[in-house]
Structure 1
């Protein structure tokens, strides 16, 4: 029991302990378990993530103490890396102020990634006349079952068809389609006032 408690204390004591101790230390002649990961000979790059070696606590400390960031650099490269403002002299590109439209409103989305995706979807679902469609416009068109290239005449025609289909007076007083009717009216009201269809 004391042996298990000692091992648990060792595990909790050092940050970075990853291994379970089933690998031996990679240092030649060491019989301790390799619980810490260090970069191998092959570094991460185009061909893959590289390889790892597993070392015990003493040998990972020796590895870290001998690590040299500047290893393999020329004197000029070392000097450039050590300058206090290295990298700040490069000019950055300005963001374009003439980008197409202001993009979707963040408040229209629950997930910010949906808003970002909607920004790119605007480019894909552009109207033939070049007017941008907002996320609300697309949702309203979807409710009416229309595509992005629909004009105001097609929207009115579809609205009339759906109102006739869902209205309780046309269904013998049946109110089961009342929610669908409200959605159709809301979508039509939105599209009627949308700048893309003005």
Structure 2
């Protein structure tokens, strides 16, 4: 008994009543079986045509979806949520604005995280943090150790983008 199935010729094909009848063949035998297999063997010309036409299956009418069978979607104002279970799930995606009202993009926020700053940082804090991180990661300050070069480049890129951002202008 092999691991590959091949339909028995002359027997019923799979359908509503079940999967049909199959031979179980090894890889070599299933390859030779597939080389000589003809799906349309034993069918009349009309049966072959009905299997090959591009709109096969589309000639049956489908049921329309009933709009009156289900109740309408409730409005959010109709919910009472004393434990804030619904709102808490979405609160993590809402980002708090800056206290001064200046806009921050997602990229600005990512760059602030790279520098280790909060969204309400000002330009002076940004410059001080940048200088401290450059001193920390620069190879000249680490005895020639170049293992922190990627982080140094990320810090430089973050500062370059943030210094021109509207929130720090």
TM-score, length-scaled by structure 2? 0.48
Q: Normalising to structure 1: TM-score of the pair? A: 0.42
The structure number with the bigger radius of gyration is 2
Larger RCO, structure (CA 8 Å, separation 6 or more): 2
